[in-house]
Structure 1
Amino acid sequence: MASYIVAPIYAAFVWWFSTGAVLLLVGRSGRSDTLRMISASSLLLASLPGLALTANDTGISSAGAAFSCTILLWGAQEIAFLAGWLTGPRPQPCPAGAKGARRLGFALQAILYHELALLACGATILALTWNGSNHVGCWTFAALWVLRQSAKINLFLGVPVTNDELMPDAVRFLNTYFVRKSVSTFFPISVTLASAVLVIMLQRIAEVASTPFDIVALTLVSTLFALGIVEHWFMLLPMPAIALWGWGMRSGFPPEDTAMEQKPDTEESDAPPKIVVLASVRSDAAPPRRQQAICARQRLEDQFRQSFREQRAPATPSTALDIGTEPAATINGRTS
């Protein structure tokens, strides 16, 4: 019973953690290429000997070890791809206006070396385990390769949700080959075929698998296959894939998004100060208490100006004229 419970939990954890770890390593956090190179080399050196040592072992632990080693090998080539080291002979955005076969040709040139590296990894796993009795590594790699190719084709043909926020900066040019629109005919076909393969694997677990090794091996691969189908649905439903691997994207928004957010502040700081704009902001956008204070200050200023005028009033010509005519009226000694 433990084989049916522990194996899918372990496969789901490895799928989730390995994806987030790769994104954390090759993300937008400014990590050096030396650290990435050491990590990719370590994964490669750990996976190949592990696959060779477990090729003839049919124990439960050997099934999990072969599965894990294949994930490590896949992670090594993913680091090389997402870091921009192994993409294609033309690592450039798709030219504007490219359609049909021309667009397909540009897309293949952008990822050709990556695809050849995947085939080389598959051939290496096959060579290490061909004569052995433990083929979990081959099954695992085949599941990853088939589902990844299906996802790439769907992104190329068009899906509603591309989840391109997960793409690191080094391969962000690949987003220009994605199409965000309603799904093509290939999407239901690919998901239906993948679901049919998953049903066959589950049927073999229930009816054909007789040893603990067979149960664990098929459960690991079928769980990984089911998670790959779930990833396909991420491209159709508005499900935030970033929520699953947000811890691997701690560096925040891509540079272009950050520049867009900071652009208004930069323009405002570089522009010379304008008195008219400031006065308008104070009078219109000030809170009520601030407006009352401004009005009170204005009244005080008006009162000060009025008092100042009254004090200066005797020195004005009109006042002097009034003073000069009053004595003239009193010299005759009459006021009427």
Structure 2
Amino acid sequence: MGATAIAIPYVVFVWWFSTGAVLALVGLAARHPSAFKWGTAAAFVAAVSGVIVSSRAAEDANAYCAFTCAILLWGTVEMSLLAGWITGPRPEPCPGDCTPASRVGFALQAIAYHELALIATAGLVFAVTSGAPNRLSWWTFAALLVLRQSAKINLFLGVRTLNDELLPQQVRFMRSYFAKKSINPMFPFSIAAATTATVLVAAAALGAKSTFDGVALSLLASLIALGLLEHGFMALPMPVINLWRWSAPVEPAMAAVAAIPAPVHVPPPAPAVPLARPMLNVVQPALEAERPAPPPKAAMSAQKNAAALARQRLEEQFRQAYRQARADAQAQAITGLAAVSVTPPVDPNTTAQGGVP
């Protein structure tokens, strides 16, 4: 019972850690290509050896070993694709002007060799476990193959969330074959099939007659359930990359962009508020309606001429009054001088009574 109880958390951990490990190792492939290739080949051989050894006995430990070796075997084949070693005869982006039928052909050519490698590896696992008491490695690899093919087809037909941020630089061309849509006709059937498989295998695990069968079926049911969850990630706007942020490689260009400080946001100035003119807008039409019509041009000319004549008369009257006042002043001055000149001089020796002392 204890071996069955830890099956679910074990599968969740292996699924999460193995995905992150593959992404982290692929990030090192460009810097150490030879060591990475030899390491991947050694892991492939070790996984196949583990599949063979674990298939010989139907025990709880063998169930965990078979499951883990199948995951390791799958990971080595996936690394060959993500590192750009095994892709297809045309590992290039999809032309933008191709027809839907040509798009299918280009997509197959982009990853054909990798698909053949997966099928060949599945055949190898089937062959080495055929007739063995423990065939969990085969069922695990087969479940991964079916779930991955379903995910690839749905990405090709179109899903809401692509999660293509996890693709390494070597296979970024595969983005051009993904389509972004709210849903595609195949997606509901994929969800229904994965849900049905999860329920059936889980029910078989609950009704297992032996501990080994319970453990093996629990591991398999948990894996299919996680495949169903991955399909759900494609329909929900969830940042899946956050689950493996610790292992996702960061490109130099992206790192340089991230190092640039964010610009300070300066809010734009508030638009000028126009002065309110309610009274003018209301009163002006009324004034314009009550304003009399302008007089004709002839009447305006006559008024201007009359005003000019009146101004000239006033100016002439002012000049005449000024000349008259000036003439009167000059006449008074002349009269005063004449009166002074005819007055006899006073003898200083005379007294006030006119006598001489």
Counterpart of 2:72? 72
TM-superposed deviation, 1:4? 3.0
One-letter identity of the residue aligned with 1:248: S
TM-superposed deviation, 1:262? 8.8
TM-superposed deviation, 1:34? 1.9
TM-superposed deviation, 1:264? 12
CA distance 1:242–1:51, change in 2 (3 Å)? same
Counterpart of 2:144? 144
Report which structure shows greater RCO (CA 8 Å, sep ≥6). Answer: 1
**2:205 maps to 1:238:** no
Contact 2:88 2:110 in 1 (8 A): yes
3-state SS of paired residue (1:31): coil
One-letter identity of the residue aligned with 1:225: I
Counterpart of 1:280? none
Contact 1:169 1:254 in 2 (8 A): no
Counterpart of 2:170? 170
One-letter identity of the residue aligned with 1:149: Q
Unaligned residue ranges in structure 2 (runs of 5+): 268-357
Counterpart of 1:252? 250
TM-superposed deviation, 1:108? 0.2
TM-superposed deviation, 1:215? 0.6
Size of the aligned set, in residue pairs, is 264
Counterpart of 1:62? 62
Counterpart of 1:90? 90
Contact 2:26 2:82 in 1 (8 A): yes
Give the structure with the larger helix fraction.
Answer: 1
For the residues of structure 2 that align with 1:154 and 1:65, how far apart are their CA atoms? 32
Contact 2:81 2:114 in 1 (8 A): yes
TM-superposed deviation, 1:223? 0.5
**2:104 maps to 1:104:** yes
Deviation readout 1:140-176 (Å, 9 max, x if unpaired): 0011001000000000000111011000000000000
Counterpart of 1:23? 23
For the residues of structure 1 that align with 2:243 and 2:258, how far apart are their CA atoms? 25
Counterpart of 1:221? 220
CA distance 1:191–1:71, change in 2 (3 Å)? same
Runs of 4+ off more than 4 Å: 257-265
For the residues of structure 2 that align with 1:11 and 1:152, how far apart are their CA atoms? 22
Counterpart of 1:43? 43
3-state SS of paired residue (1:235): helix
Using the aligned pairs only, state the percent identity. Answer: 47
Alpha-carbon RMSD: 2.2
TM-superposed deviation, 1:263? 10
Contact 1:28 1:169 in 2 (8 A): no
TM-score by length of 1: 0.74
CA distance 1:155–1:219, change in 2 (3 Å)? same
Q: Equivalent residues in 2 for 1:169-188 (5 A)?
A: 169-188=169-188
For the residues of structure 1 that align with 2:111 and 2:176, how far apart are their CA atoms? 13
One-letter identity of the residue aligned with 2:6: V
Q: Equivalent residues in 2 for 1:293-312 (5 A)?
A: none
TM-superposed deviation, 1:30? 4.8
For the residues of structure 2 that align with 1:83 and 1:198, how far apart are their CA atoms? 32
Q: Which has the larger radius of gyration?
A: 2
For the residues of structure 2 that align with 1:84 and 1:259, how far apart are their CA atoms? 25
Deviation readout 1:95-142 (Å, 9 max, x if unpaired): 012231110000000000000000011000001000211010011001
For the residues of structure 2 that align with 1:104 and 1:127, how far apart are their CA atoms? 31
Deviation readout 1:242-266 (Å, 9 max, x if unpaired): 11111111x42574x567779999x
Counterpart of 2:192? 192
TM-superposed deviation, 1:45? 1.6
For the residues of structure 1 that align with 2:200 and 2:86, how far apart are their CA atoms? 35
**2:161 maps to 1:161:** yes
For the residues of structure 2 that align with 1:16 and 1:117, how far apart are their CA atoms? 24
Counterpart of 2:297? none
TM-superposed deviation, 1:70? 0.6
Contact 2:160 2:180 in 1 (8 A): yes
For the residues of structure 2 that align with 1:36 and 1:243, how far apart are their CA atoms? 26
